[in-house]
Structure 1
Amino acid sequence: MSEPTDATDQPTSEKLVELAKRRGYFFQSSGAYGGVGGFYTFGPQGAALKGNVEDAWRDRFAVAEGNMEIDAPTIMPEPVFEASGHLDGFDDMLVECPDCGESHRADHVVEDNTKYEDAESLPIPEVEEVIAEYELVCPACGAGLAGQAVETFNLMFDTNIGPGDSQPGYLRPETAQGIFVEFPRLKEYARNQLPFGVTQIGRAYRNEISPRRSIIRTREFTQAELEYFVDPEEDEPPLERVEDVEVCLYPVGEQNDEDGEEIETTIGAAVEEGIVADEWVAYFLGIAKPWYEAVGVDMDRFRFRQHLSGERAHYAADCWDAESEIDGNWIEMAGFANRTDYDLSKHEEYSEDRFTVFKQYDEPKTVERATVDPDMSYLGPEFGGAAQDVVSELETLAERDRSAFEGETVEIELDGESHELPVEKTGFSVDEERIAGEHVTPHVIEPSFGVDRVVYTVLHHAYSEDEVDGENRTYLELEPEVAPTFVGVFPLQSDDELEAVANDVVDDLREAGLSVTYDDSGNIGRRYRRQDEVGTPFCVTVDYETVEAAETTVTVRERDTTDQKRLAVDELAETLAAIRAGDLAFEEL
């Protein structure tokens, strides 16, 4: 039997990174050329784990919720990001060392060396003051940074699309824009019925100033995002499905309170008490929490933290992060935001398409419409080239405040100056109109997951050390649903008869849809240790009892407890498949 280490003896990230490189989970890419910061290759184990996490996310957030999935390009033309605001507002704070020339995230330098935990939310002048006050130094060479200018740095990678007079483009910094720009067609696939959701799992790119902490902060990473389009006036989430889900919340009020602390509550109570004001955001928090638990995130080291006003994205009305604790630090794994109608309105403004959904009324309605039909023979001589701008101002005013036209004159503002026009020259009128429906710009609720950070958290929280039969053991306590390999099959010794049976077992298990590895190298104890270290939940050993006894059985060993049981070979595939599906527990055998 294994003797677990004390719960307070947490593994270090350094141990995990070493294991990940040695056992094929992840390692810095292009190592033959010295490596390049912020880019990582997932090895055979890591690619399988990452794929399983993605499949689990797809099953829960796409399939189970009835949402569509698309796969959009990773390069998009410049106008997309001009409309989305990324060209002007997708910046980090950069400070450059005056001695070695190394560039650093200014907010990270502050957070790592002062009491400030969310320096990203501070304005640049205040960050410069903090650097000077604390006499902060360059992390690379130790030179003082006081007095150095903190500047904004746009995180997007730019490129050119096509030869010659090529079109400027950018690698997408989020998968979301690939969904938003296709909304006019996607709404047709949803039969113009709100609400509906569109998911995407794919790569995103951010030219990080100082990538760090292995795959936690990289320049290329995988996102799993859901954009859920709702009618803000009518659509309500099915909160009853998640109201009893228990969550740990860290709202803004508690963060701003010197004695503030996390709140243990339920989704239903959090909504009722106004802790989570947005019901759609609350609904997806309620879905996400059990999903994180199912893939192996330690719930004692997990919380949802609300964004402070200074760190909230320009498009978000409210946002909560799913965070995990790693070696005493909290890292963001996902963001849950109400993006309102910002994205669709911007793309409609900048493009030539309509980003609304037509909502059909049950019966046509009679409404009053205020319109203007200005006398251009008056406006032309009076305003010259600005006459059309005057028309636009009049149209906007008529729609917004028809009472402004009740007198003999109406006042408008043009280029900061007020102008009075005779109402009779505006052609103002209020008419009745029968309409069958209206165009609605949906609001967007977005759960956005960083897959690489989920993978890292799952590995970190699964990392364990104990002692078995007098030997130290390292193992990954991965959930069967996401483990790269579900079962290892070993012949006890190098023997033709044992190896033949073992190969037949491998074939049977693979036909049952299980991921299997075969290992006949070294003594059986070493083979167990290798599989424990990569997180394989079960090992099957073909021994001499298998081939000599009346009933053909094998030994099945469980990773965490090292307990062993004998199972009949003809029941092995069905039994292990039931365990992986969660329909059967090993201890029940």
Structure 2
Amino acid sequence: MADTQAITELSKRRGFFFLSSDAYGGVAGFYTFGPQGAALKANVESAWRDRYTVKEGNREIEAPTIMPEPVFEASGHLDGFNDMLVECASCGESHRADHLVEDVTDIEDAEALPNSEVADLIADHDIHCPNCGEPLAGQAVENFNLMFSTDIGPGGDQPGYLRPETAQGIFVEFPRLKEYARNQLPFGVTQIGRAYRNEISPRKGLVRVREFTQAELEQFIDPEEDEPNLDAVADVEVRLYSAEEQNKDDGGYLETTIGEAVEAGVIANEWVAYYLGISQEWYERIGVDMDRFRFRQHLAGERAHYASDCWDAESELGGDWVEIAGFAYRGDYDLSKHGEYGDDDFTVFKQYDEPKTVERAVVDPDMSTLGPEFGGAAADIADALRDLAARDPDAFDGDEVTVDADGETYTVSTEVADFRVEEQTESGEHITPHVVEPSFGVGRTVYTVLEHAYREDEVAGEERTYLALEPEVAPTYVGVFPLVGNDERLTDLATELVRDVREAGLSAEYDDSGNIGRRYRRKDEIGTPFCVTVDRDGVESEGETTVTVRERDTTAQIRLPVDALVDELTAVREGRKTFDDLLDSYERVDADTAEA
């Protein structure tokens, strides 16, 4: 098992990720993905897109990363998107108060506690400033909004924010997206993109940063009719850490299947259960160690008020459990809020099987009376009367009715309001869809894949570090080497093979620097699954030209005809064959990989 320092050192040395703007001292919470890291990240995103967009039949969008202030007023981010801040009176350094408490106590989720209780815990445990060592007891724990603000256009009269999640870009475009879906539920919309959170104290490399990539799916459903294909995941085995078990002194994991968990009521929502099932299989597909993976249910204190059920996918990193994805049933909260604040229709028309005759309370205010009496407020009062009639018809039983409009209270005669109950024939109704949201942190997933793939062993008497990455996500799929760099026959063929492999859609790198063992080590350390070596035996043979193919994890080698190379490597990459199949089909080569 690798520690954080080992992963960070390897990542910087081999070009996976490193602190940005290092030439200017660096800025905490911002990281650059190097050539290997950018390729690994792109492959993880491609695998996510394949599973959650393509295979689920969903549609993908790309929304702006800056959005106007009213969007976040509607979503609640302006008022409620906060972390707990405590500032050192001595050095002025700011810290995440809940993290300080978690670091020195057994409390796993101090974020769910009230600010005052966290302040008391800081005092009770005599927690000191990590920067200067001075005690933090007595310092106020305050809310700090995590959004980055900006101005849209000159003059500063249109405030905006960098989005703290990609989800809002999907929600605000729902009125148009529903048209693309022909107003038929259910339908899903995905997005992979950047999000920004002005973290108080970024830490642990890619785990907590200020700019990051999210991969999110918003599944829009009719809660009365739409059901997921639970049979497809019923037998998927999962490790669950339920809220009930977390609240026990001796609570533990429930090793079960998705179907059994739903039947037992452990997972309350079938849509959430469905996405837990397909995500379990997806994480295994990209190389997450299932012995260091679990789904943890949110406790009541940490669950958003609009979420009826919420689970996190967590991976064990450096001895700590870290959230890498969240799965929430959000109800109709998001679309209802944007429908309230926005100027468009965030509902879907649901057609009845047969028309229905229903009684509806209606008002038809006498504007010739409302206008002279209330002036410019008349139209708003009329709208308020219609809303009240739909919501509470009994309010019109008396001679007068009271409504609120634009913060003012108005009293109107029921005769002027012209309230009545009518029979209406309706062919359908407008409903606000509910939302199921799987949300993935791409950077945290990449880091999980790196740490879980880290290996150390010994080959030919030498210590070796390598990344046992799945071929689907490995930054480079094939390394191609001439055994020696001063033989044009070997270098020309190696160059030609690199071109052929790349044209087949497989990533390949050419390397003729140093002895062959060192070249193997370099490719092992970045997780390259296969190395192809062009040697004199293969070129000078009387029959067909051959090369050796070495598998990373076992270092086993076979001799393969050049003409079959691309087809066989492609078959392994696509999962149609394994390297063991190739071992059974071709000549095995015994070689000292460190010195060959």
Identity of aligned residues (%): 70
1:3 aligns with none
Amino acid corresponding to residue 139 of structure 2 in structure 1: Q
Partner of 1:508: 500
2:81 is aligned to 90
1:170 aligns with 2:148: no
Structure 1 position 362, deviation (Å) = 2.9
Whole-angstrom distance in 2 between the partners of 1:149 and 1:256:
29
Q: From 341, 350, 357, give the equivalent of 1:359.
A: 350
Contact 1:409/1:420, CA 8 A, preserved across alignment: no
Paired with 1:205 and 1:575, the residues of 2 have a C-alpha distance of: 43
Structure 2 gaps, min length 5: 583-596
Q: 1:531 aligns with which of 502, 506, 523?
A: 523
d(CA) in 2 for partners of 1:271, 1:19: 42
- Contact kept in structure 1, 2:193 and 2:213, CA below 8 Å: yes
Partner of 1:557: 550
The one of 503, 506, 509 equivalent to 1:517 is 509
Partners of 1:575 and 1:109 lie apart in 2 by 53
Counterpart Cα distance in 2 of 1:87 and 1:306: 26
Matched, 1:566 2:559: yes
* Equivalent AA in structure 2 for residue 530 of structure 1: R
* Aligned-residue offset at 1:313: 2.8
Count of aligned positions: 579
Q: Structure with the greater relative contact order (CA < 8 A, sep ≥ 6): 1 or 2?
A: 1
Separation in structure 2 between the aligned mates of residue 42 and residue 497 of structure 1, nearest angstrom: 36
Distance 2:417 2:142 in 1: 49
SS in 1 for 2:215: strand
User: Which amino acid is the alignment partner of residue 232 of structure 2?
Assistant: R
What is the CA–CA distance in structure 2 between the aligned matches of 1:571 and 1:380, rounded to whole Å?
85
Letter in 1 for 2:508: V
What is the aligned partner in structure 1 of residue 436 from structure 2?
445
Please say if 1:339 is aligned against 2:347: no
The partner residue of 1:101 within 74, 83, 92 is: 92
CA distance in 2 between counterparts of 1:315 and 1:158 reads 26
Q: Which amino acid aligns with 2:179?
A: E
Query: Is structure 2 residue 57 aligned with structure 1 residue 62?
Result: no
Residue in 2 that maps onto 1:236: 227
CA pair 516-417 structure 1, distance change in 2 beyond 3 A:
closer
In structure 1, the partner of 2:461 is 470
Deviating more after overlay: 326-335 vs 156-165? 156-165
In structure 2, distance between residues paired with 1:126 and 1:95: 13
Q: Does 1:326 pair with 2:321?
A: no
CA distance in structure 2 between the aligned counterparts of 1:469 and 1:331, rounded to whole angstroms: 37
**1:224–1:449 contact (8 Å) kept in structure 2:** yes
* Partner Cα separation in structure 2 for residue 352 and residue 18 of structure 1: 51
Kept after mapping to 1: 8 A contact 2:401/2:414 = no
Look up the SS of the partner of 2:71 in the other structure.
helix
State the SS of the aligned residue for 1:184.
helix
Counterpart contact for 2:401–2:413, Cα < 8 Å: no
- Partner amino acid for 1:537? P
The answer on 1:250 being equivalent to 2:234 is no
SS of structure 2 residue aligned to 1:429: strand
| 1:130 to 2:147 alignment | no
Q: Is the 8 A contact 2:385 2:403 kept in 1?
A: no
Equivalent residue letter for 1:538: F
Q: Does 1:292 align with 2:306?
A: no
In 2, distance between residues paired with 1:515 and 1:375? Answer: 73
Cα deviation for residue 412 of structure 1 reads 6.0
Where does 1:364-383 land on structure 2 (aligned, <5 Å)?
364-373=355-364
Corresponding residue number in structure 2 for 1:190: 181
Aligned counterpart, 2:13 = 22
Give me the whole-angstrom Cα distance separating, in 2, the residues matched to 1:419 and 1:354: 28
| Structure-2 change in CA distance of 1:71 and 1:378 (3 Å) | closer
Change (3 A) 1:258 1:417: farther
Please say if residues 357 and 425 of structure 2, whose CA atoms lie closer than 8 Å, have aligned partners that are also in contact: yes
Q: Shift in Å at residue 411 of structure 1?
A: 7.5
**How far off its partner does 1:434 sit?**
1.3
Task: Output the TM-score relative to the length of structure 1.
Answer: 0.94
Give the TM-score, by structure 2 length: 0.92
- State the distance in 2 between where 1:388 and 1:122 align: 45
In structure 2, distance between residues paired with 1:84 and 1:523: 59
CA distance in structure 2 between the aligned counterparts of 1:424 and 1:526, rounded to whole angstroms = 92
